[in-house]
Amino acid sequence: MQRAAALVRRGCGPRTPSSWGRSQSSAAAEASAVLKVRPERSRRERILTLESMNPQVKAVEYAVRGPIVLKAGEIELELQRLSSSQWPLAGSSACVLFPQVMALCTYPNLLDSPSFPEDAKKRARRILQACGGHSLGSYSASQGVNCIREDVAAYITRRDGGVPADPDNIYLTTGASDGISTILKILVSGGGKSRTGVMIPIPQYPLYSAVISELDAIQVNYYLDEENCWALNVNELRRAVQEAKDHCDPKVLCIINPGNPTGQVQSRKCIEDVIHFAWEEKLFLLADEVYQDNVYSPDCRFHSFKKVLYEMGPEYSSNVELASFHSTSKGYMGECGYRGGYMEVINLHPEIKGQLVKLLSVRLCPPVSGQAAMDIVVNPPVAGEESFEQFSREKESVLGNLAKKAKLTEDLFNQVPGIHCNPLQGAMYAFPRIFIPVKAVEAAQAHQMAPDMFYCMKLLEETGICVVPGSGFGQREGTYHFRMTILPPVEKLKTVLQKVKDFHINFLEKYA
Amino acid sequence: MQRAAALVRRGCGPRTPSSWGRSQSSAAAEASAVLKVRPERSRRERILTLESMNPQVKAVEYAVRGPIVLKAGEIELELQRLSSSQWPLAGSSACVLFPQVMALCTYPNLLDSPSFPEDAKKRARRILQACGGHSLGSYSASQGVNCIREDVAAYITRRDGGVPADPDNIYLTTGASDGISTILKILVSGGGKSRTGVMIPIPQYPLYSAVISELDAIQVNYYLDEENCWALNVNELRRAVQEAKDHCDPKVLCIINPGNPTGQVQSRKCIEDVIHFAWEEKLFLLADEVYQDNVYSPDCRFHSFKKVLYEMGPEYSSNVELASFHSTSKGYMGECGYRGGYMEVINLHPEIKGQLVKLLSVRLCPPVSGQAAMDIVVNPPVAGEESFEQFSREKESVLGNLAKKAKLTEDLFNQVPGIHCNPLQGAMYAFPRIFIPVKAVEAAQAHQMAPDMFYCMKLLEETGICVVPGSGFGQREGTYHFRMTILPPVEKLKTVLQKVKDFHINFLEKYA
């Protein structure tokens, strides 16, 4: 630091970091005052500006970490972390087997310790055996560690009641987001009217719109049916694809099941209809199934697109191109920080598989610790293993609590005048519709904000609760929503819901 | 599996995975034989093909994991893993403090164990304290965990003799590759003659050409001076930029120092010249400095672009836009599997910093375990801490061995007729020039291979040694090279070098 001080005294020091936020002229004035060196040239025009930057990146919007969340960060209120699907909230892992296996993989010396269960050690040994240099610290193959891909394939086969999965069709990824972006990147082509159209649900998880924007593809919206528990209606898909054909080449159909932010779980019939539609319209299917373990409504069940595809017979199972995504971030483990995920591809052209591996190899490999995390998620203890009972209790507790909170949230929101909430059949969010009075809409316009952004900002300022406005996910014009996670512990969630209720009633009165 | 068998019997089963590799017609024949269900429709034209895919992705080449490495994978010879910069080869970490801190972070229960040194625990507590839910399993801020960015900034300040670094300018990334792709993605714009030109060294690390291709930017080559130990000559930069201006808008200058694959370490004078050139030509500087700890020649020293920039005075330090990259994958720890990295940006417009965070947030956050790994790399033990002595011995041993192997490799290659190898001043590779006889060039052409690809393929087939042909990195026309890592243990490396020597002499004779 002495040397830095000397540099500054000699007039060679940097501007202080705090000056970045100021205008160019004040920065220049400061520079001239402090540095006394050719002040007239101390700030040239920058090369990289909003005007010169990649316009496709500029057009990206990403509400889940947008202004509301930034504002929450500034306010740093106790409840700010409700904003994301942060998990586990409680500081420790939901299932103790997870950190045990991860620690053993991380520091193999611990394999000699008597304080780890034998099945945790067995898992760790299996993973390490397959890693380069028997270490999570080595690069893996770009497609992912072989034995982990085998475990994923075995998991899918069990999940789908025996429909076989091929490890060669499994690609480990840096979270599901990475897989989705990668496959979209390969799919997008053409210019003008033959530019690739990508069909996405509205409301959607904003990764989709962001990646479509980055790739300069055409976003084709299909609306989920809010009146019908956010169900997907194939007639709406037909409308959307017909309209899109006027200005682009619809080539991809994205499905989120269970839905984010909408939480609906698609029926088997609906999935069959969607697959038939994709077959008819020659669409590549992207099935975002990261919430496959998060189904709460007793009358709902998760059906994978792949399983339904195979059950529909070879005309479909040999023809429909499908990529399905899963992640370590959801389910009952919720280990988001490790950025583990996989995609399974079906009917991908062998040459395209080569292209996919090439593209993945440019980033060398997904984090090997995330790959190990994925292995633990798809390879839970079975009866007879040392960890089985504790694990089963933990899993039941997490999923039971989520189901309880899903019901609690739906019920409480529906007691509030001006809020309507569909059943949270699955996933981790409520996406209630909120009534915003005309006067509040006008107040929002005066602040150049979307009305639901205005609402959410007020909620944050007045209660410290951070929810994401529906406009960030897309919604039918004139309707307003917000997304709230149900991850906080039950008692905390009750407090939050009560606060939202009080705020809402107050808001309605204020802008009546 | 019973159910799957039943599905197949009912004629609803999938084709066997092994049939993917076959031609469409044989697959169709098989389907018709096995399934007996409307065989004429069992294989429709695929949506995603080499013809329909994203042409920019198709154009990507990535030699480091290209055909040679795939071939090595097929052959699975003992020495195949020489192919990448795999590290650590020996199965355990180079510095024991690393897995200790990582295990403590992964499984905080271990913080009570007496078998970990106190300073490892202190590091782990500091990291966990700053993580959401005190867990590596939670998402972090998209820019990275605050205290880790602070530790990175402190490291840079120490490294650069006191030139201050601001944590707000530090972005943690998924390895350096992720940072480089991200900043290039923001930088690229324009169409036709105003398309962004990106200057890269030849030979280059093929991440650059791959990302430039993906982004449909224009690659502008400047050649390193092989006759002068692969030095960067500013006159060559001038030539390249002048020629490029005819067909694009050169806006970015990428530097790799120490060089990959060429291993040269740039002099302070050279860096000053490059910065002045970037200032004159209004170029955004990308300094790939991932090998900053890997300098072996006693007469070379690493100088960071940032430090030189600041020492050149405020005209430069307030104006030149610079992004510098580092990684957990190199240095003396070499923990590549964790995919940890950071970039430091200098003089980035505040609005662009906002855009950068937005873009990063689409992928939520870099792996938190990789962020923790980065913290350990930039925050090594200091005198007085429990781990200091062992750590110092380990570090000295790793770097001492690399220096020894760098010299050994250079000396041995230069004893072989038809091989010339510049000094390996830094990084982890030899990039010798090889003479390929006319007859071998003709044989290569007959196999539709680049001559050095032919050479490397023969080397692999005959010895099991996998090196990457120079054509994958770029080289002056008519010259041939390969890249080989110096990571294997000394004795193994000697064997490898001897085998390469014998192969080369034999190759010269065979194609004389």
Quote ipTM for the complex: 0.82
Listed by number, the residues of chain A in 56-85 with a beta carbon closer than 8 Å to a beta carbon of chain B are 57-58, 60, 62, 64-66, 73, 81, 84-85
A220/A258 same-domain check: yes
| Structural domain of B6 | 2-44
A210/A355 same-domain check: yes
Residue B386, C-beta contacts closer than 8 angstroms, at least 6 positions apart:
B117, B118, B119, B120
pLDDT, tens digit, 9 for 90 and up, residues B332-383: 888 899 999 999 999 999 989 988 988 888 888 999 999 999 999 999 999 9
DSSP conformation letters of B204-215 = --THHHHHHHHT
At B328 the pLDDT is: 92
Pairing mode of beta strands A284-288, A249-256 = parallel
Pairing mode of beta strands B429-430, B482-485 = antiparallel
Residue B287 DSSP class: E
Q: B159: how many CB neighbours lie within 10 A of its CB? A: 19
At A84 the pLDDT is: 44
On whether the CB atoms of residues A309 and A317 are closer than 8 A, the answer is: yes
pLDDT, tens digit, 9 for 90 and up, residues B178-236: 999 999 999 999 889 999 999 999 999 999 999 999 999 999 999 999 999 999 999 99
Residue B96, C-beta contacts closer than 8 angstroms, at least 6 positions apart:
B387, B390, B394
Mark out the alpha helices in B62-192 (DSSP H runs).
Answer: 67-75, 97-106, 118-130, 146-159, 175-187
B28/B84 same-domain check: no
On whether the CB atoms of residues B121 and B361 are closer than 8 A, the answer is: no
Confidence of residue B16 (pLDDT cuts 50, 70, 90): very low
B250: nearest Cα among B209, B274, B211, B283:
B283
Q: Is B91–A133 a contact, with Cβ atoms under 8 angstroms apart?
A: yes
pLDDT surpassing 90 at residue B28? no
Q: Is A282–B49 a contact, with Cβ atoms under 8 angstroms apart?
A: no
Cα distance from N-terminal residue to C-terminal residue, chain A: 59
Q: Spell out which residues of chain A touch residue B313, defining contact as CB-CB under 8 Å.
A: 11-12, 37
Confidence of residue B5 (pLDDT cuts 50, 70, 90): very low
DSSP conformation letters of A181-243 = HHHHHHH----GGGSEEEEEEES--THHHHHHHHTT-EEEEEE-BGGGTTB--HHHHHHHHHH
Residue A186 in domain: yes
CA–CA distance, A367 with A173 (Å, rounded to integer): 8
Q: Spell out which residues of chain B touch residue A331, defining contact as CB-CB under 8 Å.
A: none
B25/B78 same-domain check: no
A467/A506 same-domain check: yes
CA–CA distance, A175 with A206 (Å, rounded to integer): 15
pLDDT, tens digit, 9 for 90 and up, residues A418-434: 999 999 999 999 999 99
Place of tokens 């001006």: A418
A196 phi, psi to nearest 5 deg: -65, 130
Q: B28: how many CB neighbours lie within 10 A of its CB? A: 18
Across chain B, mean pLDDT equals 86
Q: Give the domain CATH number at B326.
A: 3.40.640.10
Residue A98 in domain: no
One-letter amino acid at A357 equals V
Residue A481 in domain: yes
Of B73, B319, B337, the CB nearest to A135: B337
A412/A283 same-domain check: no
B66/B36 same-domain check: no
Number of H helices, E strands in chain A: 19, 12
Nearest C-alpha in A relative to B27: A318
pLDDT surpassing 60 at residue B37? no
At B24 the pLDDT is: 33
Q: B423: how many CB neighbours lie within 10 A of its CB? A: 21
Task: Report CA-CA distances (Å) from B493 to B264, B401, B496.
Answer: 21, 11, 5
The strand pairing partners of A484, in sequence order, are A430
Q: Is B314–A131 a contact, with Cβ atoms under 8 angstroms apart?
A: no
At B59 the pLDDT is: 79
Residue B260 DSSP class: T
A268 phi, psi to nearest 5 deg: -60, -40
CA–CA distance, A258 with A270 (Å, rounded to integer): 13
At A332 the pLDDT is: 85
B226/B261 same-domain check: yes
Strands (E), B388-477: 419-420, 429-430, 433-434, 468-469
Residue B198, C-beta contacts closer than 8 angstroms, at least 6 positions apart:
B184, B187, B188, B208, B212, B217, B218, B219, B220, B250, B251, B252, B254
**Per-position pLDDT tens, chain A of length 512:** 333 333 333 333 333 333 322 333 333 333 333 344 444 456 778 888 888 888 888 877 766 666 666 676 655 543 334 444 444 444 467 889 999 999 999 999 999 999 999 999 999 999 999 998 889 998 898 999 999 999 999 999 999 999 999 999 999 999 999 999 999 999 999 889 999 999 999 999 999 999 999 999 999 999 999 999 999 999 999 999 999 999 999 999 999 999 999 999 999 999 999 999 999 999 999 999 999 999 999 999 999 999 999 999 999 999 999 999 999 988 888 889 999 999 999 999 998 898 898 888 888 899 999 999 999 999 999 999 999 999 999 999 999 999 999 999 999 999 999 999 999 999 999 999 999 999 999 999 999 999 999 999 999 999 989 899 999 899 999 999 999 999 888 999 999 999 999 999 999 999 98
At B64 the pLDDT is: 62
- Mean predicted confidence (pLDDT) in B226-254: 96
B25/B174 same-domain check: no
Provide the CA B163 distance to its chain's centre, in angstroms.
27
On whether the CB atoms of residues B121 and B106 are closer than 8 A, the answer is: no
- Tokens matching residue B407: 């010299």
A196-218 CB burial, b ≥16 within 10 A, e <16? bbbbbbbbbbbbbbbbbbbbebb
Q: How close does chain B come to A343, measured CA to CA in Å?
A: 16
Residue B55 sits at the chain A interface (C-beta within 8 Å): yes
Q: B464: how many CB neighbours lie within 10 A of its CB? A: 17
How long is chain B?
Answer: 512
What strands, in cross-sheet order, belong to the sheet with B468-469?
Answer: B429-430, B482-485, B468-469
At B44 the pLDDT is: 78
CA–CA distance, A132 with B20 (Å, rounded to integer): 28
B261/B311 same-domain check: yes
Pairing mode of beta strands B170-174, B218-223 = unpaired
CA–CA distance, B195 with A450 (Å, rounded to integer): 35
pLDDT, tens digit, 9 for 90 and up, residues B301-337: 999 999 999 999 999 999 999 999 999 998 888 889 9
At A48 the pLDDT is: 84
Q: Spell out which residues of chain A touch residue B366, defining contact as CB-CB under 8 Å.
A: 339
Residue B146 in domain: no
CA–CA distance, A398 with A386 (Å, rounded to integer): 20
The strand pairing partners of B344, in sequence order, are B170, B324
Q: How close does chain A come to B505, measured CA to CA in Å?
A: 32
At B473 the pLDDT is: 92
Residue A477, C-beta contacts closer than 8 angstroms, at least 6 positions apart:
none
At B126 the pLDDT is: 94
Listed by number, the residues of chain B in 423-482 with a beta carbon closer than 8 Å to a beta carbon of chain A are none
Residue A482 in domain: yes
Residue A133 in domain: no
Nearest C-alpha in A relative to B358: A62
B227/B83 same-domain check: yes
- Tokens matching residue B352: 């662009």
Pairing mode of beta strands B429-430, B170-174 = unpaired
At A45 the pLDDT is: 85
B158/B282 same-domain check: yes
Q: Spell out which residues of chain B touch residue A472, defining contact as CB-CB under 8 Å.
A: none
Residue A228 in domain: yes
Q: How close does chain B come to A150, measured CA to CA in Å?
A: 13
Place of tokens 């590799």: B21
How long is chain A?
Answer: 512
Nearest C-alpha in B relative to A186: B54
Residue A107 in domain: no
Confidence of residue B34 (pLDDT cuts 50, 70, 90): very low
Please tell me the total count of domains within chain B.
2
pLDDT, tens digit, 9 for 90 and up, residues B56-94: 888 777 666 666 666 766 555 433 344 444 444 444 678
Residue B280, C-beta contacts closer than 8 angstroms, at least 6 positions apart:
none
Burial of A33 (0-12, 13-18, 19+ CB in 10 A): exposed
Q: Is B57–A359 a contact, with Cβ atoms under 8 angstroms apart?
A: yes
Listed by number, the residues of chain B in 252-281 with a beta carbon closer than 8 Å to a beta carbon of chain A are none
At A457 the pLDDT is: 92
Q: How close does chain B come to A399, measured CA to CA in Å?
A: 18
pLDDT surpassing 90 at residue B284? yes
B17 phi, psi to nearest 5 deg: -55, -35
Q: Give the domain CATH number at A440.
A: 3.90.1150.10
